[in-house]
Structure 1
Amino acid sequence: MEPGSCPGSTVSEGSDELLSEAPESDVPLGTWAQDEVFRHSDILEVISYHIGDPLASPSAFSARQDLFCAALTCRGFLAPCMDILWRDLDSLLPVLRLLPDFTYVDGSYVRYLLPTPSTSLKRCRQILLGTVQVDDWLRLDTYARRVRSLAMGYDSSFISPQVFIRLLKLRSNPLLPALAQLRISTSSFTDAQSSFLLPAPALTSVEIDIGTESAGVPTLLLTLSQEQPLISHLSLRGAGKLPSSMFAPSCAFISHMKHISSLHLSFSVPSIFNSLMPVLEMVSLIDLSLDLRGCTIECVMPYFVFPPLPGAIAPVRRIKKLRVEGEGPIILHLTKRLGVIPSLTVLEVIVHSDRTVLFPLKIGTFFHNIMLWILLLAKSIRSLRIHNDSAIHASESSAVFLNPNLIDLEHLEFTNFPISAEDEDIEAFTLSSPSLIDLFLPGGGQKLPSPAVLRYLSENCPKLEHLQIHLNMTFVPKLPESYCYSHLLKNLTIGSYDFEATIDNLIAISSYLHRLFPHLRTVQQDDAYDIEQWGHVDLLLRAFQSVRKDTYACLGLT
């Protein structure tokens, strides 16, 4: 398929007639049973969604082809299938190709040419020739009004700026009136494109990928603050860094967007962190993501003053979701000041380090200290995720001992560092965190719990749906006396290094899981070991569930 093209361009060429010539039947409405289906647009939307589901097709392109074929069948499926086909675009070319005379400079339209040593970039840029009539605008609006998400890909740089300048003179109303999400890159996005796409009355989310070319970021943010005051989500990501001359005005423009509730700044700003004060003081901001790599403690701590100075108010006090990543020392100092965020419910910590950075503590002790400060200062947390992205291997560190006491905790995830716990530790943990829904615990510690802890999780955490845990499989405990029918655990991921896969052990652990978690859907391994053994457990579990259902059906029970 040509770069920048998508099934939307094919649809636009062959489906205009469908809007006026969709198949109609001479049979009166109500004669056929399916006529009742066509009366309900929500049912048609569900059917169309499953037709275009990429997971149910060999590829995403095949799923879009199926949607296009469904749109050709009858008038009922035309609108919902077209809505899905045009909902998400990774290029603006399908929309622009709806206009007449949108062609190459050399007149070649059938193939999209990339610049090579023999073909210059100027020849490959697409321009707009001729005139645009009223019918042409109606044709474009028929499809453009369906676009909800747009990602300005690399091919946008091959569209001549003259196209957007020309269209700005011909059209005053928004090109994409229903556009809600916009993803752009500073390497290929131009002022002409921003002037053409904005304002978009429905736009609420903007993601900006900052590359090597970052000079246009302040101008773009100024345009967004003036034209799109209702934006609620703004993300600035990428490997590029803004110099201080650009970062300070950029933060000032962001602070003018009074409705922003979610802000992600995932690029490093080493020495100019103080420019963030106007942003952090925004009343509407409740979701904050910061990349603190390269920052100093002195730059960050004024925003997380604890205990508060007399009369001072921490600017981050309203934050409910916080995601921070940085080197170990600054992360440790930050967790010591979580008390200034009384309403914090979601916390994600990503720790970076390498052998060139002097690490103050062993990795295990370091994460243990982080947990202690979180327990002490952030008891309102419902979701906690800590990820070790350092270059120091987990085997070189001591283990983290699990000891949380968060009553309202619903999601707990540790990644890439060892957890050491015995059965008593897990039992105490389940008693103190009864609201758990997701629990992800890695292995690698000196001590691993036995399968008996699954019973503690079944009895003490009735809401648990997703579980990942490493167990010592040297023995299998006795079966529970009865089923725990109320438990709704769906997915179980187990890691083990000592599972002796005899037929008795396989049947015993399968029956044990069946009693504790009757509604379990999948059982899988967490590492490269014991893949075949846990595959057998999953099959046996399915067999136990099938026998139980058949038995209950014969008895007339549910």
Structure 2
Amino acid sequence: MSTSSSTPISRVVFESPSLSVDILSQSSSPSSFGNSNQSPIDSDSLSTTSSQNDIFSPNLSVMNPVFTTGILREIFKNFEPVFSTRYPNFPLASHDLHDCRCLFSAALTCKTFLDPALDSLWFYLDSMLPLFRLFPSPKLMNGKYVVHGNIQVEDVERVSRYARRVKILLFHASEIRPTQHLYLQLSQLIPAPLFPSLCRLESPTVQKVPDVIDGILIALSPALRVLTFNSFTVAEDALIGAFISSLAVKTTSNLTHLVLYGHVSTDTLLHIFEFENLQSLELALLQDVAANVFTLLDKLENLSNLIIDVQRCSVIPSRVSLPITPRRSRYSFPPSPTLKRLKKLHVSGKPVDIVLVLSGTRPSHLQSFSLECYHDTSYAICSTTIIRCLEGYVFRSHPSLYTLNFTHHPPLTSKCHFSLTDLPNITSLCSLENFSLETSLFSANIEKLEEFVSAWPNLKVLILPLFWSDVPTLTFLATLRTFCPCLQEVHLPLIPEVPTLLPANIPAYHPLKKLFVTPIETGQEATFENQLRVSQFITQLFPDAAVDLRRTSNSTSTGFWEKVQATVKLCQEVRKRTIAFSVNHHKGIAR
């Protein structure tokens, strides 16, 4: 088979007594058709010639036992996009051009490679046009694709052959898109859903694709697991709510991950609770919502990941009377629901709203709790809110809590410092592995901090604010070395106080790998002797720790710390070479 190099292959049709299959391809991935205005270029149907028999050998009419299904899956999964449907937040990525060409060539090699190669090639689509352009007479009218003439059964089978392979679909506001009537035609011609294997659906924006949203619902199946809608306004919220409500009935509540980044209303929130198998829920940019709505989270018994952003809305504290419909008649508002399977919780917003959102949730087995406070009220209110939120969740989940993150965003005009004394007693978190505290105004109490870290023997990551009123010295590193034997990463500011004595009687090796320092200059003379003593102090405590500088707009001169950073690398290199020489020397003696 020969094809002119100047003409990109759009669709090649192979017809033989034993095989009739269409292979859609182009100079790039199938998704590239979404931005193309050209009609498909059909090559002439190829008869059963000697060249075709070379490609599809009669000896391979039955799958070669050497290439089992498992082996083929391992081979062709290397050509699939780099994301996984199990991680819905992972960014989408199209096929690489080289991968598409390899898959197309593999599909033409033999019957054994045909299906797995096409499965990988059609794994992901960022446009519906590659499918609709398979129809015999697609045309553009007013910027939308329509099909003129009658659609035959053969045409529908051709489209279905590829649509059943699609696992991830991204639809966006492209200039060219199918009409809603085309979806209706397919629903009448195809008894089963167009996308029986589709497990992830995402829309970056809803503003220009309302007709696509209405049409795509017909093509979905119960296989859908992940749904994401980004950037929708108040006017489009009703469309999203109707879509979610219909989807809950159509897919029999099999959805496990739902992401809504837009102006979500109370009515739309009520539809979400229809998905009883939901495991991950992310809500951002909510409209004003009644606080008692969040008590319905208890209906989601399988929920393990919850992210709520109420930064730009107001949570109504009173119990608002919600409209009752036949679908909502079974809803009740339990006084204290428990999310027993909730493992990860992240809430951001104003302190008062955060308290109202969390007031009805009582998770007992949290593993990760993140709180992000934005406030335009007094510091005292913020401090009280923080203590209330943290105390309840810490004391309820202290046996299982592994990660605790707190971020405080004070008003620009505020001069109050956040202090460790504003935190509740979190020393009971004996299983804590990750602790992060970030704020722009921080009043440090070294003794209080030492009390905290001494109670966390399993701590692996410690992130502290950039600027303190009382910046710790190198001595604090020795405290971390003593009480946190599992520590692997530290972020904190340090004063390069030159130690008078280097640490002695150091216990076993410490695994710290990353030491992020906010440089604080105190006028220390940057002599080589001072640099060497500071570097030796760090390397003796943490032999393999890489020192990195956290530069900020308010950072002072970093000349001394930059030289310390270079000296630490030099000391570590000398140590490695010394150990290697000693090992080789003893091996030589043993011989």
- TM range, smaller chain: 0.7 to 0.9
Structure 2 counterpart of 1:109? none
Q: What displacement does 1:515 show?
A: 3.3
| Secondary structure, counterpart of 2:242 in structure 1 | helix
| Secondary structure, counterpart of 2:237 in structure 1 | coil
Q: What displacement does 1:439 show?
A: 2.0
Aligned residue type for 1:382: Y
| Secondary structure, counterpart of 1:221 in structure 2 | helix
Q: What displacement does 1:495 show?
A: 0.8
Query: Among the aligned pairs, what percent are the same residue?
Result: 22
Aligned residue type for 2:426: P
Aligned residue type for 1:254: I
Find out whether 1:159 has 2:182 as its counterpart: no
| Secondary structure, counterpart of 2:184 in structure 1 | helix
Partners of 1:95 and 1:551 lie apart in 2 by: 64
Q: How does 1:362-511 map to 2 (within 5 A)?
A: 367=386, 371=390, 375-380=394-399, 381-392=401-412, 395-401=415-421, 404-405=426-427, 406-476=429-499, 478-481=501-504, 486-498=509-521, 500=524, 501-511=526-536
Change (3 A) 1:276 1:475: same
Partners of 1:89 and 1:72 lie apart in 2 by: 16
Partners of 2:206 and 2:78 lie apart in 1 by: 38
Find out whether 1:552 has 2:576 as its counterpart: no
Partners of 2:103 and 2:42 lie apart in 1 by: 9
| Secondary structure, counterpart of 2:454 in structure 1 | helix
Q: How does 1:509-528 map to 2 (within 5 A)?
A: 509-520=534-545, 523-528=548-553
Partners of 2:54 and 2:564 lie apart in 1 by: 52
Q: How does 1:173-252 map to 2 (within 5 A)?
A: 173-184=192-203, 185-187=205-207, 188-190=209-211, 192-199=214-221, 201-209=222-230, 210-211=232-233, 212-228=235-251, 229-238=253-262, 240-242=263-265, 247-248=266-267, 250-252=268-270
> Which residue among 280, 295, 298 is the counterpart of 1:262?
280
Partners of 2:395 and 2:82 lie apart in 1 by: 50
Aligned residue type for 1:431: S
Structure 1 counterpart of 2:378? 359
Alpha-carbon deviations, 1:439-465, whole Å to 9, x = none? Answer: 211132211211222233334323333
Check the 8 A contact 1:368/1:400 in 2, yes or no. Answer: no
Q: What displacement does 1:435 show?
A: 1.9
Alpha-carbon deviations, 1:482-504, whole Å to 9, x = none? Answer: 77775433333211221655444
| Secondary structure, counterpart of 2:380 in structure 1 | coil
Q: What displacement does 1:65 show?
A: 2.8
Partners of 1:288 and 1:316 lie apart in 2 by: 13
Check the 8 A contact 1:523/1:538 in 2, yes or no. Answer: yes
Check the 8 A contact 2:76/2:116 in 1, yes or no. Answer: yes
Name whichever of 534-543 and 467-476 sits farther off: 534-543
Change (3 A) 1:62 1:175: closer
Change (3 A) 1:366 1:394: farther
Partners of 2:558 and 2:264 lie apart in 1 by: 44
Structure 2 counterpart of 1:7? 29
Q: What displacement does 1:436 show?
A: 1.9
Aligned residue type for 1:258: E
> Which residue among 276, 299, 310 is the counterpart of 1:281?
299
Change (3 A) 1:464 1:104: farther
Change (3 A) 1:468 1:168: same
Partners of 2:127 and 2:255 lie apart in 1 by: 22
Higher CA-based Rg: 2
Alpha-carbon deviations, 1:273-327, whole Å to 9, x = none? Answer: 4344444333223433334431133459xxxxxxxxxxx7612443443222232
Partners of 2:179 and 2:364 lie apart in 1 by: 51
Check the 8 A contact 2:436/2:463 in 1, yes or no. Answer: yes
Partners of 1:541 and 1:81 lie apart in 2 by: 51
Structure 2 counterpart of 1:307? none
Q: What displacement does 1:477 show?
A: 7.0
Structure 1 counterpart of 2:23? none
Q: What displacement does 1:225 show?
A: 1.0
Partners of 2:373 and 2:78 lie apart in 1 by: 44
Change (3 A) 1:368 1:147: same
Structure 1-normalised TM-score? 0.73
Find out whether 1:64 has 2:64 as its counterpart: no
Change (3 A) 1:261 1:48: closer
Change (3 A) 1:62 1:503: farther
Partners of 2:77 and 2:488 lie apart in 1 by: 26
Check the 8 A contact 1:48/1:77 in 2, yes or no. Answer: no
Alpha-carbon deviations, 1:232-265, whole Å to 9, x = none? Answer: 1222221x253xxxx34x4443333221122233
Check the 8 A contact 1:51/1:66 in 2, yes or no. Answer: no
Partners of 1:41 and 1:479 lie apart in 2 by: 59
Check the 8 A contact 2:409/2:440 in 1, yes or no. Answer: no
Partners of 2:114 and 2:529 lie apart in 1 by: 57
Name whichever of 543-552 and 210-219 sits farther off: 543-552
Change (3 A) 1:42 1:162: closer
Q: What displacement does 1:475 show?
A: 3.2
> Which residue among 143, 147, 163 is the counterpart of 1:124?
143
Partners of 2:73 and 2:514 lie apart in 1 by: 30
Structure 2-normalised TM-score? 0.69
Structure 1 counterpart of 2:329? none
Partners of 2:102 and 2:544 lie apart in 1 by: 36
Q: How does 1:130-145 map to 2 (within 5 A)?
A: 130=149, 140=159, 144-145=163-164
Structure 2 residues without counterparts, runs of 5 or longer: 1-26, 35-39, 46-50, 58-65, 84-91, 321-333
